[in-house]
Chain A
Amino acid sequence: MIKIENLHKSYPMGKDSLHVLKGLNLHIKEGEFVSIMGSSGSGKSTLLNIVGLLDVHDEGNYYLNGQLIENLDEKKAAVLRNKFLGFVFQSFNLITYKTALENVALPLYYKGVGRKERQKTALEYLEKVGLKDWAGHLPSELSGGQKQRVAIARALVTQPKVVLADEPTGALDSTTSNSVMEMLKEINREGMTVFVITHEEEIAEETDRIVRLKDGVIISDELTNKKATV
């Protein structure tokens, strides 16, 4: 599903440049539940941005769903994001003046789905995350956990190939964190590839495979006990 070969990325910092990713190789198959672990500055967010087509890499190859990503202009990137990727952010990134339902329906709008169809599908996904009754509420009227569930529904609504979650529990307390992780697991059990970025050991433990990143290189890549025992 995601295949990365010798990936390099550096950011210009004045005269010098900051080499963030130093030749990463990673292969994530369809249906995997992977977490990227690393402290801040390890390059994990950069990796997510490149995988999420929000940023471009300097060197190496990136295949998404078997398709080589190169010469990507804004328009192509937008279409690919809409088609293959669903995002879940640490700060939820819901549009504040839109209701839960409208937020979930937005990716479908950019996909070109008709209005009624959008409402129907969005409501289905809200039901799936247990927030059907909150469909008409604005994000400001929801709790942190509820917001993140709306964001998950929004990430899933286009039926993407991969869900990318950037510190999905970073802004939540431990109880809500657990329920959000349960939800991601549930999604994964249904066959979705889920790609989580975190710096919390407990969160990473919940996934099937942990890739540890330090100073722009992968220092370990192993299956968790949970997966091994299953």
Chain B
Amino acid sequence: MFDRDIWAEIFHSIKKNKLRTFLTGFSVAWGIFILVLLLASVNGMKNGFTSQFNDDATNSIYIRTSVTTMAYDGFEAYRAIQFTNRDIEYIKGNFKDEVEYITPRFSNGVTARYKKETGRYPVRAVSPSHQYIEKTLIQSGRFLNDNDINNKLKVVVIGRKIKEDLFEDEDPLGKTLIVNNSTFRIIGVFTDEGNDREERFLYFPVTTMQRLYSNTDKISMILLTYNPKFSFAEAINFSETLEIVLKRRHKIHPDDQGAIYLNNNAEGFSDVTNFTNMLNYISVGVGLLILLAGIIGIGNILVFIIKERTKEIGIRKALGARPAQIINLVILESVFITTISGFGGMLFAMGLIAIVGPNIKSDAFANPSVELSTIIIATVILVVAGVLAGLIPAIKAAKVRPIVALNSD
């Protein structure tokens, strides 16, 4: 197989028939080109979806409350369920290994004023962990810390949009913001990758807000992230356990679907993964079909070549070439053409992706790329394709009878 003479023969035959070789190779290069491009595009879509979900931590669970829909344990239906600080302590205490970050969120709306500028903004009263769960980015200053919470300090972190609204070019850090007639010191400005709406929030220490609103310990919702090492199944399992425990704690019927809403990001994420996997399969299928057309093209041309070379094959046989040696020659030539042109198509596609990819600006499409496994699979496909394309013509060649061949002109 690594006989120098066979390669000399193959190069000879290719050099003698440049156009034929080019046309043959082109169909395979085209097939691989499309296959790689399709796979990279699916990858790009996958990355696009992932980055959209990335606004929030992908391992986050949001828990909201509502009213019960079923009577249970002596309570009538339509009882409002309310989380309190004790629920946070309970989850922290019982799921030490499962929970990474946890924060309460107490939502409200306020009027904020700085000098003459006034605006109405939504409020989120949270604890410091919130920053990691929502992936809040601090532009200047800092986010809330434990000291703010413990001492119920009147501090606030404002969104970039609020800064634009109220402060224009002034640096808001350390300035006093008047919120519903109370004064708060601005300790930080944040941005958020999600969208503009996210940047119109005010973040207060949850304890400060609860005290301000008649010393309550109520909270609107619980946000947490689970152990990032969890598999999908473990994550689902954990959120189910959490739901059961919370229902028991608040005396809700186990089958009540309305009282507690538990939103696990993993579920949505899994849907996306399933979707892109499906796209992957489809594009592999389409790519292979296109490649198949290329292979048939090569087989076709090789059959023609064999016909052209009938006499030569006859001479070789008269001189003592064994059928296996003839088959070897034809198949190697086929594998050589398919592999080289296939790599050509692959490199061309990868080059195109490298040049065009970074310039595509779309939410649904990001960083299209080819994985190493794709390249390896494509290579294997190429070699197999070459063998398949060469097989029938090779067998045909081996069957050429020397006398018939020698008499043909």
**Contact pattern, B 144-181, Cβ under 8 Å of A = 1, otherwise 0:** 00000000000000000000000000000000000000
User: CB-nearest residue of chain B relative to A105?
Assistant: B5
Q: State whether A75 touches B319 (Cβ < 8 A).
A: no
For the complex formed, measure the closest distance between the CB of A79 and the CB atoms of chain B, giving whole angstroms. 7
For the complex formed, measure the closest distance between the CB of A81 and the CB atoms of chain B, giving whole angstroms. 5
Contact of B320 among A49, A82, A93, A98 (CB under 8 A): A82
Q: State whether B323 touches A78 (Cβ < 8 A).
A: yes
For the complex formed, measure the closest distance between the CB of B401 and the CB atoms of chain A, giving whole angstroms. 8
Give Cα A93–Cα B403 distance, bound, in whole angstroms: 12
Q: State whether B318 touches A81 (Cβ < 8 A).
A: yes
Contact of A93 among B12, B311, B401 (CB under 8 A): B311
A63 within 8 A of B: no
Could you say which residues of chain A place their CB within 8 Å of the CB of B4?
A: 115
B71 within 8 A of A: no
Which of A79, A83, A91, A109 has the most CB atoms of chain B within a 10 A radius of its CB? A109
User: CB-nearest residue of chain A relative to B8?
Assistant: A102
Contacts A74-B322, A75-B323, A78-B322 given; does A106 touch B406 at CB 8 Å? no
Q: State whether A109 touches B322 (Cβ < 8 A).
A: no
Residues of chain A from 85 to 117 with CB closer than 8 A to chain B in the complex:
87, 89, 91, 93-98, 106-107, 109-111, 115
Residues of chain A from 30 to 89 with CB closer than 8 A to chain B in the complex:
49, 52, 54-55, 74-75, 78-79, 81-83, 87, 89
For the complex formed, measure the closest distance between the CB of B16 and the CB atoms of chain A, giving whole angstroms. 6
Contact of B322 among A79, A87, A154 (CB under 8 A): A79
Give Cα A166–Cα B191 distance, bound, in whole angstroms: 93
Contact of B406 among A54, A82, A97, A110 (CB under 8 A): A54
For the complex formed, measure the closest distance between the CB of B380 and the CB atoms of chain A, giving whole angstroms. 31
Could you say which residues of chain B place their CB within 8 Å of the CB of A52?
A: 318
Give Cα A96–Cα B321 distance, bound, in whole angstroms: 17
Give Cα A55–Cα B406 distance, bound, in whole angstroms: 12
Could you say which residues of chain A place their CB within 8 Å of the CB of B5?
A: 109, 115
Give Cα A98–Cα B13 distance, bound, in whole angstroms: 11
Q: State whether A110 touches B318 (Cβ < 8 A).
A: no
Contacts A93-B311, A106-B316 given; does A75 touch B322 at CB 8 Å? yes
For the complex formed, measure the closest distance between the CB of B326 and the CB atoms of chain A, giving whole angstroms. 9
**Contact pattern, B 312-356, Cβ under 8 Å of A = 1, otherwise 0:** 101111111111110000000000000000000000000000000
A-B CB contacts (within 8 Å), total count: 63
Give Cα A122–Cα B248 distance, bound, in whole angstroms: 96
Give Cα A96–Cα B409 distance, bound, in whole angstroms: 13
Residues of chain B from 1 to 50 with CB closer than 8 A to chain A in the complex:
4-5, 12, 16
Give Cα A78–Cα B323 distance, bound, in whole angstroms: 8
User: CB-nearest residue of chain A relative to B317?
Assistant: A78
For the complex formed, measure the closest distance between the CB of A27 and the CB atoms of chain B, giving whole angstroms. 24
For the complex formed, measure the closest distance between the CB of A178 and the CB atoms of chain B, giving whole angstroms. 26
For the complex formed, measure the closest distance between the CB of A206 and the CB atoms of chain B, giving whole angstroms. 24
Could you say which residues of chain A place their CB within 8 Å of the CB of B312?
A: 95-96
Could you say which residues of chain B place their CB within 8 Å of the CB of A82?
A: 319-320
Q: State whether A87 touches B403 (Cβ < 8 A).
A: no
Q: State whether B319 touches A106 (Cβ < 8 A).
A: yes
Q: State whether B318 touches A154 (Cβ < 8 A).
A: no
Give Cα A109–Cα B6 distance, bound, in whole angstroms: 10
Could you say which residues of chain A place their CB within 8 Å of the CB of B311?
A: 93
Q: State whether A87 touches B318 (Cβ < 8 A).
A: yes
Could you say which residues of chain B place their CB within 8 Å of the CB of A106?
A: 316, 319
Contacts A93-B311, A95-B312, A115-B5 given; does A81 touch B16 at CB 8 Å? no
Contacts A74-B323, A89-B406 given; does A54 touch B16 at CB 8 Å? no
**Contact pattern, A 118-151, Cβ under 8 Å of B = 1, otherwise 0:** 0000000000000000000000000000000000
Q: State whether A97 touches B16 (Cβ < 8 A).
A: yes
Could you say which residues of chain B place their CB within 8 Å of the CB of A98?
A: 12
Contacts A75-B324, A97-B12, A115-B5 given; does A107 touch B319 at CB 8 Å? yes
B295 within 8 A of A: no
Q: State whether B320 touches A54 (Cβ < 8 A).
A: no
For the complex formed, measure the closest distance between the CB of B286 and the CB atoms of chain A, giving whole angstroms. 40
**Contact pattern, B 250-279, Cβ under 8 Å of A = 1, otherwise 0:** 000000000000000000000000000000
Q: State whether B403 touches A78 (Cβ < 8 A).
A: no
Q: State whether A54 touches B402 (Cβ < 8 A).
A: yes
B398 within 8 A of A: yes
Could you say which residues of chain A place their CB within 8 Å of the CB of B319?
A: 81-82, 87, 106-107, 110, 154
User: CB-nearest residue of chain B relative to A109?
Assistant: B5
Give Cα A49–Cα B401 distance, bound, in whole angstroms: 11
User: CB-nearest residue of chain B relative to A158?
Assistant: B320
Q: State whether B322 touches A93 (Cβ < 8 A).
A: no
Give Cα A89–Cα B398 distance, bound, in whole angstroms: 22
Could you say which residues of chain A place their CB within 8 Å of the CB of B406?
A: 54, 89, 93
Which of B12, B315, B320, B398 has the most CB atoms of chain A within a 10 A radius of its CB? B320
26 CB contacts below 8 A, A to B, read: A52-B318, A54-B318, A54-B403, A54-B406, A74-B317, A74-B398, A75-B322, A78-B321, A78-B323, A79-B320, A79-B322, A81-B317, A81-B319, A82-B319, A82-B320, A93-B315, A93-B406, A94-B315, A95-B312, A95-B315, A106-B316, A106-B319, A107-B320, A110-B322, A111-B320, A154-B319
Spell out B's residues near A (CB within 8 Å): 4-5, 12, 16, 311-312, 314-325, 398, 401-403, 406, 409
- Given A78-B323, A115-B4, 11 further pairs, Cβ under 8 A: A49-B403, A54-B403, A75-B323, A75-B324, A78-B317, A81-B317, A81-B318, A93-B311, A106-B319, A110-B316, A110-B325
Give 9 nearest A-B pairs by CB, closest first.
Answer: A82-B320, A110-B320, A107-B319, A78-B322, A54-B403, A54-B402, A93-B315, A74-B323, A75-B322
